[in-house]
Structure 1
Amino acid sequence: MLALLGFLTIAIFLYLILSKRVSVIVALILVPVILGLFTSDRGKLGQMILEGVSGVAPTGIMLAFAILYFGLMNNAGLFDPIISRVLKLVKGDPLKIVIGTAIIAMVTHLDGSGASTFLITIPALLPLYDRLGMSRLVLAGVVALGAGTMNIVPWGGPTARAASALGVDANDLFTPVVPAMIVGLIWVLFSSYILGKRERKRLGVQELDYNFNQELSEAEMKLRRPKLYWFNVILTLITLIALVKVWLPLPIVFMVAFAIALIVNYPNPKEQQERITDQATGVITVVSIIFAAGVFTGVLSGTGMIEAMAKSLVSVIPDSAGSFMALIVAITSMPLSLVFTPDAYYFGVLPILSETANAYGIAPVEIGRAAILGQMTTGFPLSPLTASTFLLIGLAGVELGDHQRFIFKWAFGTTIIMTIVAFITGAITLF
């Protein structure tokens, strides 16, 4: 019963947002609450929801102040020289920009953190995409592909979780799938080429005046702070380093950085309030989604739906398919990112799958390798169960349903390509 309710909750939620019947916030809150009323723990729904919301509170705070910070930096003109130089380099060619976006996402995700990757890439590239009239879905999608594939690195969350859950060394999981990962990254570049070519066909290679400031309105020019440019650059670099090195909790980093940036760039209290008000709509929308996602995960976890779904998935695998377990795990790993949180999958589902496969002579490490080819790697920037997804779409200003529809096939294709290479190289086997 719990498993059925869990799958029903996921299915109804995805249907509602993909068909745009209701907003994401409404679906995230009402769907799990209504179906949660049919469980035996309905009396504890309030507590479950509160725990779920409390769990995402730090992310919500970080996201709120990140939007405020980068919005203020954009107003102050931090990204103007970057945009002008990139425009000159790519000569207004959307194809080159999209491929460059993929490379930037891959490089910035070397730290294994989705949050820092999105916070670095999206604010820097969004003004450029808007300047050329390029699709924000392409920006969000290509960054998702690059970051998702790179998330296989041993210090990333999925590989570390898989190693811990199976009691194996992370390098034993990662090293054999390196060839598959490299081919996956090449596939991402190829996908970016296709998407960039479409943008070039739609927009053409534009002849542009590389003096970006000439395109700004009078009101926008008044907000620019050219004399404080290097101060803002140094402050932003320190902020990003603090994020990567975790000098302070991530929400605190952005709170402090925003306060410093605000008082230095706009010392007048009235101007400060105007800068905050200017970003209010974006902040409220995105943070509301984060807290709504807390309701969703809180109910699914608290009622036991996720655990029940894990057991039911394993139980439906026929004995005859036992020798194909690695293949099954690899192919389903990416789509199941939409159903299970990383902890639920790696600590709940994966050990059961591994034990089942072991009976057919398949080593647990192979099941782990199969899982990291998609579960919260290529799948994490599309999943409604991770805060990073909402950070990505919030910064890019796109809808979750649109983002999923646009990039799902490319992300799933990445997993399929890596699975094929993993079999060819022997990282995973059929028997």
Structure 2
Amino acid sequence: MVVLSRRSLFTVAGAAVGGGILSGCTGVAGSGGSGGGDGGGGASGTVSYAFWGNTVREENYRTAFEDMAEEVSDIQLEIEFADYNAYRERMTTQMAARNVADIFWVPSPDVLTYHANDLFRQVDDIDSLDLSDFDDSDIESFKLSGEFNTMPFGVHIPVLRYNRTFAEEDGVEIPDQWSWDELAEFCLDYSDNNPHDRRALSYRADHDLSLQNWLRQHGEQLWTEEGGLGFTAETMIAWIEWWERLREAGATTSISEQDGVEPSWEDIGDITLLHFGNANHVIDDAAMFPDLEFSLMHPPVASDAVAGYQFLYTPRMGLYSGVSDDVVEPAGHVLSYVINSIDLLREVGFTMGTPINPRVAEEYREFATPLEVEMIDLGEENRSADRTPFYESPPGSSEWRVTLRRVLEGIIDGSTTIPAGVDQMMSEVTDSLERAS
């Protein structure tokens, strides 16, 4: 098969959408490999696999799939790859044409949109999908509207990242846990007294998992189970006020320093002590500054945080509802390998989160870097906690982050107030949800 480079994929994507764009084709094992299972079980066929990322992720997955091909050669894997935004655009076009890859990664804003468009095939009847490492509560948590029709393959959690190198140079002690008020006071003090003109914190009022952590601590959520807004204006106003207090005092990076409301890590990674984000983002971010040492901790906890606020976000793989019957069994082996194989994880790393498989997470400790160990530990603490349900983004919500960032820009430049901006956001997102329903 023709092997397309990432550059040529983008060149032909417009003309070839819906036609199964291939950036590579390789033999692939089923669920074999270290700790991986049965190695294919006699299934054979061609399975297309679509995912997104940067060139490093593409290269790592390509290498991992080539390694799998050395074990089992009777399942051919056709790879479709693009960066995140191009991937979402292509999926929208392929959905309309009903010509989607057999297995595809599901962007977090689109999970229930794809579900509403009947894009997912159930996976609980696939004999070749090895779920032996998961208990009943795991399986129940994987379901959408009571249906087991996507397969999570990683775990994302919100974290507060800190620069160990800067903390040592500046003579500050990072506690095991902050409250939100304690963190705010620390940031204000640090910004006034550190000797290197560093910022205590990057401005991250737009960060989705951190916002959801705040809402859940206050007994609310971003979305309801029915697909509506799950938060009050009061709680959202308090979130933005927390950030604005620090930004106006100079305790966070300015919007110009970080090149927008959503910070550019390349611009602020070497001038900030603290940074809110997903745990998995530290892998790529730390690589940008190899001379600096980073560490992770749980986000602040409100003094009156409600029980069960901890959560896991699990990126998902979907099996296309239009997949042919003869592809189902080999596709099950591919799904199994992705979730059960130590070999694959050692190649692709934690950029899509820590392993969804608890056995794999524990066995991976033998190979893990110190940062990866921290990711595993924090994820396991959230996983073992009693957690209230977490609801995926409903149809019509895919642009809510764009709306929030636009509102934050208006608040920062003074063109709107925080209450008016929150009202605007809630109204726009509600209108979008109602149109989609």
Q: Which category of TM-score, normalised to the shorter sequence, fits these structures?
A: under 0.3
Greater share of residues in strand: 2
Structure of greater relative contact order (alpha carbons < 8 Å, 6+ residues apart)? 1
TM-score, normalised on structure 1? Answer: 0.26
TM-score, normalised on structure 2? Answer: 0.26
Greater share of residues in helix: 1
